[in-house]
Structure 1
Amino acid sequence: MKILVQGDLGQVAYHVGDEAMAIAAADELRARLEAKIVLLTRDPEQTKDLYGMDAMDTLVFPWPPAERSKHLELVRRAASGDRTALPAGDSVWRVIDEVKSADGVLIAGGGNMNSLYGWLLYERAALGLIAKELGKPLVVSGQTFGPTLLPQDQQTLHELLDYAGLVGAREPSSYALGFQMGLGSEKLTRVVDDASFLLPPGSVDANPAGEEFELPEGPFIAATFGPESWRDGTRSLAKLGEVLDRAVELTGLPVYLIPHVGPLGPEGRGGDHESHETVQAHSRSGQVRVCPVLPAPAVAAFTAAAELVLTNRYHPVVFGLAAGVPVVALANDSYSDVRLHGAMDNWGVQDWALPLSSLDIGGFDLAIAEAWARRAEIREHLESVRPRIRAVHENWWDAVASILSGRDAEAAKGLGDVVSLESDSEWAKQARGQRSQFRALSGGIATLWTEWDDVRSQRDLLLHERNEAMEEKERIVRSRSFKAATLLRRGASVLRRVSGGGR
C-alpha cells in the first residue's frame, strides 16, 4: 500500500506544530497499515533527513485570493486530464501521478481551513479534487474550520469535506460549523489534535534532542510566545516579560522560552526568536532563558517535562495537557481564541484559556497563580480524563486506517463533552464575560481584512488582464501582418473610389 499525507511540512521557517501533526498522523498510519507513507512537503530533503520518511514536493498555491481561485480551476482541469491546463513542470503533474499510484490520501490536522490562510485551504482543496477525480479514498483529520470564511472559500471547503470519507473537527466550534455545512455524524467526528500523543510512552524523561540540547536538571516553567497579532496591532510581549518575572517569584522556578517557529538551531532569527528576545529584554529576574528551535518531537518532550506551561501558541497547549501539565493560555485574537479555548475545552480546563484583554487587567497573572496553587488538582484531573481521550484518539485512527485501506468502517466515536475542572474566581468570570466581545471585535477585524484582501486581489487581477490585453493590442499593431492588412484595406478603399464602387 501507499498513502499520501498532506501537512504543512518543510516551510522556510520550521513550524513545530505543523510538523508535529503531519508526522504524528504518519506514525498513526504506520502503526496500523503495512503501507509506504509519502509526505507532501515544501522541502523534501529536509523532511527526509528529519523523519526518515519518503517525501515529495507538495502543491503550491498563490497567496492572493483571486489568483488561488483561478489556479484551483486549472488544477481541476488538470485532474480531469487536460494536459494544457498547467505547464509541464508544474508540481501538480507529479502529485497527480502519485495520487494515481496511491491507495489513499490523508490531509493531516491543522488550523488553515479559513480565509486568513486561504492559500493553504486551496492547496488541500486541490489535493481533494485530484483524489476525487481519480476515485481515491480521502480523510481530513483534526481540523479547525473558520472562524473567518469568505463565501467562496466556504464553498471550496464544503466541496472538499463533502468528498472525504471521514472528517475530524478538533474543537466544538469547528464541529458545529461542520454540521452547518451539511456534514452528518456518520462522517463528521469530534477529535483532539493529531499531535496530542506524538510522544511514545516513557519518552519524556529522555534527552529529546541528543547532543543539540539537554533538558534542565531541575523543575522549570515552559513558555512559548509567538509574534503579536499583526492584524489587530496588539502590544503584549513587553508585558509578558513582567508576567514571567512574577511567575518566577511565585514558583521559584526558571522559565525556558521554547520557540515553535523559526529556523532550526541556535543561529536562527525571526519568528519566535524575535518574540522571545523581546520578552526576555523586558524581564528583570535573570531567570528567563531563550532556547533554540528544536525538532517537533524534542519540543513535545521538552514541554511535557515542565511543571507549568504558559503560551499564546496552540501546540504547547496540546503537548502540555496530554502530559498532564497545567497550562495557562492567552489568545491574541479570535482565531487564536477559538483554537486555544477549544483545545483546553477538550480536556475540561477551558477556564485557563483567556482572551488577550485579561493581560491588561491582571487576569493572566491571577490565572497563573491559581493554576500553580491547584497544580496537583489539575494534574489529577488531566490524568483522570486521559484514558477516555486516548481511547477516542485510537478509535479515530482505527477508522481512518479502515477508510484508507478500502475496508468498511463503523463511524468513529467522537469525543463528546468531558467533566470540567472550573474556577469560580473573579478572573475566570471576567474572561468568560469578555470572550464574546473579544471574538466579535477581533473576528470583525479579520473579516474586514480578508474582504479587503479579496477585493484588492480581484482589482490586481483585472489590472493585470487589462495590461496584458493592451500589450497584445500593441504587439498586433506593430506586427507585419497587421501593417500589411492595413495597406490592403487602404488599397481596396482607393480601388473602390477609382472604380466608382464606393459611396
Structure 2
Amino acid sequence: MILRHNGRSCHPVDSSLGGGARMRIVAIGDVGVVDGMMHIGDEAMFEAMVDALRDRGVDEVTAISAAPEDTAARYDVVAIGRIGFTGTRARMHERLEAVRSAASGTPTLSGGDPAAAVVDAVAGADAVVIAGGGNLASNWPSHVFERAALGAIAERLGRPLVVSGQTLGPWLDAPDRALVAELLRSARLTGVREPASLALAGELGVPTERLAGNRDDAGFLGVGDPRSGAGAGLDLDTGGGTAEPYVLVSLSLHLGGLPREETVRGLASTLDRVADRVGAPVRFHPHFGSLDPAVEAGDEVLHAAVRDAMRSPAELLQPGDARSAAKLARGAAMLVTSRYHPAVFATAAGVPVAALSADDYTAVKLRGATGWWDQDGVIPLGLAASDEGGDALGRIWDRRASTRSAALALRERAMEESAAWFDRVASALRG
C-alpha cells in the first residue's frame, strides 16, 4: 500500500539545483511509530535528510517505513512498507536473491509482496537515499539485508544511490561484511559518522573519492527553523540554555550485561551527586518511549526506576518529537546519556556531555558524536554507576567553560560542512 499525507511542506526549494525537472527520490530510514513507540534518533536522521533535500530541489519523497501511515503524515511524504526480512539467515538470503531477480525483470515476487512495491517505487524515482543510522552491523542482520536489497534494486534499475550518516559495525561477520561492501561500493556517495567507520569503509573497498566522514546528519536539525522555536536552543552565548538550568538524562535499557538493580542504584547515587554539583534538577528524557502518557515503555522503564532510587527531585518527560528533543538537549546545563542522539544534539550547543558506553558499539558511536566537538567524556556505564561515578561525571561538568568555548569555535565551520555535505548528496543523486 502507498500512502501520502496531503499536508504542505514548509521547506524552501532551491530551483537552481532542479534544472526545471521534478526530482523524485526513494528514501529509507529506520522510521515509523509502531505500537505507539517513538525512536527519536532514527526519526531525526530521516527528517534531517528530507529537510535538506527539499531545500535543494527534491520535489517528492517516497519513504520506506515500518509504519507508512505514520511516516506519511509526519513528514508529508509518500510512504510504503519495508521489503521485510525475517527468519534465518538462509531464508533472508533467499529473499534477497528473489528481490534482486525481480529488479532485473524476472517475476519472482507476487503482486502483494511489499518488495514489489519497493521495486516499483524505485523504478518510478530518479534516485535512492539510505538515510542515517547504525543499522549496518551484524547486531541487526535484517537491517543489513533490507539496505542491501534496496541498493541492489537501485543498481539494477540504474538509479543513483547515496548512503548517508552511517555507523559501520564495529561487528560485521563475514556474510554481512560482504553485503555491506557490495552496498557501499555501489553507492555514488557514502557518508559515515566516526573515524572507526571511515576506516572500516576503506577496508571494504569504498573508493576514497566517494567516501566522507561527517558529523551526524541530524546535528543541526531545526536550527533556524521557526517550527523548532527561536534558534532551536543553539545559542551558545546564553550560558547553557534556559533561566532554570537542568541536567538532562537519557538512558537506554541496554546495560551491556551489568546487573540491573545494582546499576540502577549506582546511577541514582551518581545523578544525585551531579545534581548537587550542578545545582540543578534532573530531567529524564526518553529517546525510545511511548507517545501515550499512560504507558511506560522503553527508556521510560529505566528512567522511572532510577528516579525512584534518587534522593533528589527529578522529572520524567515524554519523548515528544525529534525537533523538541533537539531543543531540549541543546538547552541543558549538562547531559548524561547512554543514548546517541542526545549527545549529537547537545554537543553542537556546547553542552558538557557525560556519554555512558555499554559496549563496543555504543562506545564507537558516542566517541564519534562527542569527538567532533572536542569533547572526551565517554565513560563506561559500569564506572558511571560505581562509587567513582559522581567524581567522573563531575569532572566533565568542571570543564564546561572550555567545552562551550570549543563548540563556539567549531560551530560556524561545522554548519558550513553540514550544508556542503547535503549539497554533495543532492548533486550525487542528480547524477
Alignment of 1:353-432 (within 5 A): 353-406=378-431
Give deviations 1:226-256, integer Å, cap 9, x for gaps: 1033666665233212211111111120111
Aligned partners of 2:87, 2:48: CA distance in 1, in Å? 27
In the alignment, the residues of structure 2 paired with residue 233 and residue 133 of structure 1 have an alpha-carbon distance, to the nearest angstrom, of 49
Contact 1:107 1:140 in 2 (8 A): yes
Residue identity in the other structure for 1:334? D
Aligned residue in 1 for 2:116: 93
- Bigger helix share: 1
Q: Is 1:169–1:189's contact at 8 Å kept on the other side of the alignment?
A: yes
Matched, 1:111 2:138: no
1:104-132 deviations in whole A, cap 9, x for unaligned? 00100100101101101110111001000
Larger Rg: 1
User: Aligned partners of 2:209, 2:88: CA distance in 1, in Å?
Assistant: 35
Hey, what does 2:326 align to over in structure 1? 300
Q: Which residue of 2 aligns with 1:273?
A: 300
Residue 219 of structure 1 is matched in structure 2 by: 245
Residue number in structure 1 paired with 2:13: none
2:210 — aligned with what?
187
Give the secondary-structure state (helix, strand or coil) at the position aligned to 1:8: coil
Partners of 1:264 and 1:295 within 8 A in 2: no
Task: Work out which of the residue numbers 30, 43, 50 in structure 2 matches 1:8.
Answer: 30
Paired AA for residue 75 in structure 1: V
**Distance in 2, Cα, partners of 1:149 & 1:193:** 21
Q: Could you tell me which residue of structure 1 aligns to residue 14 of structure 2?
A: none
- CA separation of 1:364/1:65 partners in 2, compared to 1, >3 Å: closer, same or farther? farther
Shift of 1:365: 2.2
Cα separation, partners in 2 of 1:364 and 1:64, compared to 1, 3 Å: farther
Report the counterpart of residue 15 of structure 2 in structure 1.
none
Q: 2:264 aligns with which of 232, 237, 246?
A: 237
**CA deviation profile, 1:74-120 (whole Å, cap 9, x unmatched):** 2112211221x233211111111110110100100100101101101
The percentage of aligned residue pairs carrying the same residue is: 39
Aligned residues: 397
The 1:34/1:293 distance shift into structure 2, 3 A limit, reads closer
Deviation at 1:70, TM superposition (A): 2.2
TM-score (norm: length of structure 1): 0.75
What letter is aligned with 1:318? V
Match of residue 285, structure 2, among 254, 258, 268:
258
Report 1:201-216 matches (<5 A).
201=224
Partner SS for 2:30 = strand
Partner of 2:273: 246
Matched residue of 1:154: which SS? helix
Which whole-Å CA distance do the structure 1 matches of 2:333 and 2:385 have between them?
25
The aligned counterpart of 1:149 is: 172
Structure 2 residues not aligned, in runs of 5+:
1-22, 233-240
Quote the Cα distance in structure 2 between the aligned partners of 1:24 and 1:256: 25
Distance 1:241 1:284, change over 3 A: same
In the TM superposition, what is the alpha-carbon distance from 1:205 to its structure 2 partner?
Answer: 5.2
Q: Work out whether residues 192 and 198 of structure 2, in 8 Å CA contact, stay in contact via their aligned partners in 1.
A: yes
> What's 1:331 paired with?
357
Counterpart code for 2:362: S
For 2:300 and 2:381, locate their aligned partners in 1 and report how far apart those are by CA, in whole Å. Answer: 21
Partner of 2:105 in structure 1?
81
| Aligned partner letter, 1:244 | L
- When the two structures are superposed, what TM-score results if normalisation uses the length of structure 2? 0.88
Q: What's the CA shift for 1:302?
A: 1.2
- 1:342 aligned to 2:368? yes
Comparing 195-204 and 134-143, the one that deviates more:
195-204
Q: Which moved more, 1:359-368 or 1:57-66?
A: 359-368
1:63/1:118 contact within 8 Å kept? no
CA shift, 1:269, in A, is 2.5
Q: Which amino acid in structure 1 is aligned with residue 69 of structure 2?
A: E
